[in-house]
Structure 1
Amino acid sequence: MRLELVNTGTELCLGDTINTNAAWIGQRMAALGIEVARQTIVPDGGAVREAIEEAASRADVVLVSGGLGPTNDDVTRESTAELLGLPLVQDAGVTAQLNAYFAKRNKVPAVSNLRQAMVPVGATVLENAFGTAPGLYFPAELGAAKGWNSHIFLLPGPPREIKPMVENCVEPRLRALLPDGANRRVIYLKLTGIGESEIVEKVEKDLEAIAGLELGYCIGKGDVDVRLAGLAGPVDAGAEIVRDRLGEFILSEDRRVLEEVIIQLLAERGEWVATAESCTGGYLSSRLTDVSGSSKVYGHGFVTYANEAKEKHLGVAADLLQLHGAVSEPVAQAMAEGCLRTSGADYALSITGIAGPTGGTEEKPAGTVYVGLASKGHETVVRKFFYPISRDRFKLLTTQAALDLLRRQIQGLPLG
């Protein structure tokens, strides 16, 4: 099955907005066994008509995102109707949904909003529970007169709207079009603390030997997804190989990231974590609090950038700082233990390092960082890492290492 993706939006062409929809859709389609053959980006306005016409003339499926809004440059709906020779009529169901959407906000829809209730005859409305623009599905037979055999889906642009629509409305229809679509499975084994090349070395040869197994890798933010797709037998066999050889590195099998896993583990145990950061400036705290439910397991976060702050808030001794320097194993240990003592939490993570690119020395070059973990009933552990990279990447990898150290402690895995 050939699928093409058409994205409309001037902000995408200018680079003002990163096209995360395309990457996400590509991953979802790969899980179905469908490869995105081409992606096209066009500005708002009439350019979308030509893009849809070209894609529909050669693809089995065309997904179009954007251009369904109420403004005069949102013309995806009208352009598709013109291409297929379909009249537009006001849909009573969509009109009712628009009225209800605005009523909840003590407003009434503007005339421009009511454009979104105009539906081409023969198209199927795809409900949008998170916005005002419904999606539309045009089955392939509507393009037969033009010699097309393409199923066309018009989808909203905002990620919060397009993602549930793809999952709930588009994917079920695509599965029905695939010979084995209903029987396909996909597993994403998310790993951290191990690089892609080492994963390949340990499992790829045996995974590639499994008939019918589709294998892929995706490098994320401090983690790597091993994607296994196909029928149940090959997928299960492949997953067992990865679990057997790389089990301690597996975070999740449902695409949850490390901070989400940590929050769930702590919630299940009724335990708390606290943090004490220097060079990461609160990024560790931010990652934890990005997860819904974090307030049940995370109560204290200290950003002690200056030595005086380490002394005042964490009880790090001045002579310790003087003797070893802020970026050192003893100070990381003292920070973690002081954080644990002050917060009363079950676990405390500390980070102290040199993010760079300036500030390093021959003994402690930029990128040097220490991560500490103090836990009730366990000896404090400190690990040294070296990430001589950009500051944002340094913060990401350092906090990933800290959270993984905590994960390993909770799950009783080797601490490295």
Structure 2
Amino acid sequence: MKIELINTGTELLIGDVINTNAAWLGQKLAELGLSVERATVVPDGMAIQDALGEACRRSDVVIVTGGLGPTSDDVSREAASAVLGLAIDVSDAVLKELTEFFAQRGKPVNEHNKRQAMVPHGGITLPNKHGTAPGVFLPAALGESRGLSCAVFLLPGPPRELKPMMEHEVIPRLREMLPGGEDRVCRYFKFTGLGESDISMALQNGLEAIGGLEIGYCLGKGDVDVRLSGPAGAIERAGVFCREALGEYLISDDRRLVEEVCVAMLSERGQWVATAESCTGGRIADRLTNVSGASRVLGHGFVTYANEAKTLHLGVPPELIAAHGAVSEPVAAAMAEGCLRVSGADHAVAVTGIAGPTGGTPEKPTGTVFIALASKGQPVEVRKRWFSGERERFKILTSQTALDFLRRRLSGYGLPIS
């Protein structure tokens, strides 16, 4: 099924309003196993007529947002009528609802508001419980006189009105249009610790062999989503295959981030974690505390940016720092061990590195980081990593890797060797 989006509104083009509708609609359609073929943004006014005409000639479904308001530049209804060759009528039912709506507020319906009761002939109004402009569904058969076979949804632009209408009115109709639509699902398998190409190499042939799947890859901030759409049975088989092929790298199959998984696993075990951070400046603890329930699993977060702080709060010997440098495997290990001891936690994560762009040396270039993990009753483990790029990227990838090391330990996987 070919689907296009048209978002109307001059405010979207001049940057006064960020077009979040396109992203949200794309996500909701992906959950149905549908992909948006094209998304177009047009200004207020009759520019929508050309865009809608082009879209209807090449698509099965067009979803339009905006242009249903009471002002003269809200012309989505008129544009759809012109494209499909339909008369436009006043809906007595909608007019009655508008009259009652304004009567409750002690106001009459003015002529501009009455424009919202105009509906292309044959269109089905979609109730709007959060605003005055109903949506309109124009079945594909209405365009036959113009040689078109495209269903059109006209939806309001404000997200608080658009989203409930999409959920309750549009999605059920789209399911009816899909062969086996009720059985079709979409699932996201989130991996970390491997590059996008490595994941594709490991999974592509096996997923294609299952059959009936639409496969997509999306690189995130330190992780990769493998999006699978298709029949529920095929998705279940794909999930088994993904776990068998790359289970130790799989964070979740429900879009949860690594910090969410860590908080859940620690909570299930009744365990605590503490953090000791230098180069990330508290990013690891920040990510954990972004998760509801983190107060049950995170008791201490140390930001020991200065060498003196590492000694004062974590007990890192100054001679160790002098001998090896603050960015070193021995210091990272001492930070984790000290954090575990001082906090009394079950696990401690520590990081020390060079975020750049200054401070690097030939032996320890910018982007070098040591990540240490200490747990009660287990020897501390340290891994060296190198993350190129600007400081923010370095902090994201370092915190992602540190949290993934914790996830791996909680899951029973060993830390990667390299």
Is TM > 0.5 for Structure 1 vs Structure 2? yes
Whole-angstrom CA distance in 2 between matches of 1:96 and 1:377: 70
Structure 1 counterpart of 2:125, which letter?
T
CA distance in 1, matches of 2:27, 2:257: 16
| Partner secondary structure for residue 37 of structure 2 | strand
Tell whether 2:286 aligns with 1:295. no
Which position in structure 2 is the counterpart of 1:342? 342
Provide closer, same or farther for how the CA distance between residues 92 and 289 of structure 1 changes in structure 2, counting only shifts above 3 A: farther
After TM superposition, the score normalised by the length of structure 1 is: 0.83
Letter in 2 for 1:56: C
Contact 1:191 1:225 in 2 (8 A): yes
Aligned mates of 1:97, 1:332 — CA distance in 2: 65
Instruction: Give RMSD over aligned pairs.
Output: 3.6
Match of 1:124 in 2: 125
Change (3 A) 1:95 1:299: farther
Q: Secondary structure at the match of 2:350?
A: strand
Output the CA distance in 1 between the equivalents of 2:296 and 2:22. 35
Please say if residues 116 and 132 of structure 2, whose CA atoms lie closer than 8 Å, have aligned partners that are also in contact. no
**1 CA distance for matches of 2:330 and 2:238?**
44
- CA offset at residue 364 of structure 1? 0.5
Deviates more, 1:279-288 or 1:381-390: 279-288
Which residue of structure 2 aligns with residue 385 of structure 1? 385
- After superposition, the C-alpha distances for 1:119-161 in whole angstroms (9 at most, x for unaligned) are 5445433556xx6577624131555666544333344556677
SS at match of 2:210: coil
Q: Tell me: CA distance 1:138–1:356, structure 2 relative to 1, closer, same or farther (3 Å).
A: same
- How big is each residue's C-alpha offset from its partner over 1:254-284, in whole Å with a ceiling of 9 and x where there is no partner? 1112112112112222222222222112222
Q: Judge conservation of contact 2:33–2:186 (CA < 8 Å) in 1.
A: no
If the length of structure 2 is used for normalisation, what is the TM-score?
0.82
In structure 1, what is the Cα distance between the partners aligned to 2:99 and 2:152? Answer: 23
Does 2:137 align with 1:138? yes
Match of 1:256 in 2: 256
Of 173-182 and 71-80, more deviation after overlay is shown by 71-80
Match of 1:2 in 2: 2
- Listed as ranges, the matches of 1:6-405 within 5 Å are 6-10=6-10, 12-14=12-14, 19=19, 21-66=21-66, 76=76, 85-87=87-89, 118-121=116-119, 122-125=123-126, 127=128, 136-140=135-139, 148-155=148-155, 165-405=165-405
Q: CA deviation at 1:81?
A: 7.1
Report if aligned partners of 2:355, 2:391 keep a CA contact under 8 Å in 1. Answer: yes
CA, structure 1 residues 34+356, in 2 after alignment: closer, same or farther (shift >3 Å)? same
Within 2, Cα distance between the matches of 1:301 and 1:117? 58
| Amino acid of the structure 2 residue aligned with 1:306 | A
Counterpart of 1:125, as a letter, is: L
| 1:14-71 C-alpha deviation (Å, 9 max, x unpaired) | 5676655434533543453433222112234553444334323543211223456788
- Partner Cα separation in structure 2 for residue 125 and residue 407 of structure 1: 46
Displacement after TM superposition at 1:287 (Å): 1.8
**Deviation per CA, 1:94-122, whole angstroms, max 9, x where unpaired?**
8989999xx9xxxx99x99x959945445
Contact 1:94 1:117 (C-alpha < 8 Å) held by counterparts: no
The Cα offsets for residues 288-342 of structure 1, whole Å up to 9 and x where unpaired, read as 2222232332233222222233233333232222222211112212222232333
Query: Is the contact made by 1:133 and 1:156 (CA closer than 8 Å) also made in structure 2?
Result: no
Q: For 2:135, give the aligned amino acid.
A: L
| 1:70-101 Cα shifts (integer Å, max 9, x gaps) | 8886665676578754456656768989999x
CA distance in 2, matches of 1:256, 1:62: 31
- Between the aligned partners of 1:248 and 1:99, the Cα distance in structure 2 is 62
Contact in 2 for aligned 1:265/1:410 (Cα 8 Å): yes
Q: Structure 1 residues 42 and 310 mapped into 2: Cα distance closer, same or farther (>3 Å)?
A: farther
What is the letter of the counterpart of residue 197 of structure 1?
S
Looking at structure 2, the residues matched to 116 and 396 of structure 1 have their Cα atoms a distance apart, in angstroms, of 52
State percent identity of aligned pairs: 55
CA deviation map 1:221-268 (0-9, x unaligned) = 211122222223433333322211111111111111211211211222
1:349–1:46 CA distance, 2 compared to 1 (3 A): farther
Distance 1:164-1:306 versus aligned 2 partners, 3 A rule: farther
Q: Which has more radius of gyration?
A: 2
Amino acid at match of 1:246: L
Q: 1:271 to 1:88 in 2, by over 3 A?
A: farther
For the residue of structure 1 that corresponds to 2:406, the secondary structure is helix
Greater shift, 69-78 or 175-184, is seen at 69-78
CA distance in 2, matches of 1:375, 1:368: 24
- Distance change in 2, residues 1:222/1:166 (3 Å): farther
- Higher mean C-alpha displacement, 369-378 vs 354-363: 369-378
Give yes or no for contact 2:277–2:302 (8 Å, CA) kept in 1.
yes
SS of structure 1 residue aligned to 2:207: helix
Amino acid at match of 1:170: V
| Cα distance in 2 for residues equivalent to 1:388 and 1:322 | 26
Q: Which deviates the most, 398-407 or 27-36?
A: 27-36
Amino acid at match of 1:239: G
What is the rounded CA distance, in whole Å, between the counterparts of 1:99 and 1:341 in structure 2?
Answer: 69
**Deviation larger for 226-235 or 252-261:** 226-235
Post-superposition offset of 1:402: 0.5
Q: Hey, what's the Cα distance between the residues in 1 that align with 2:413 and 2:201?
A: 22
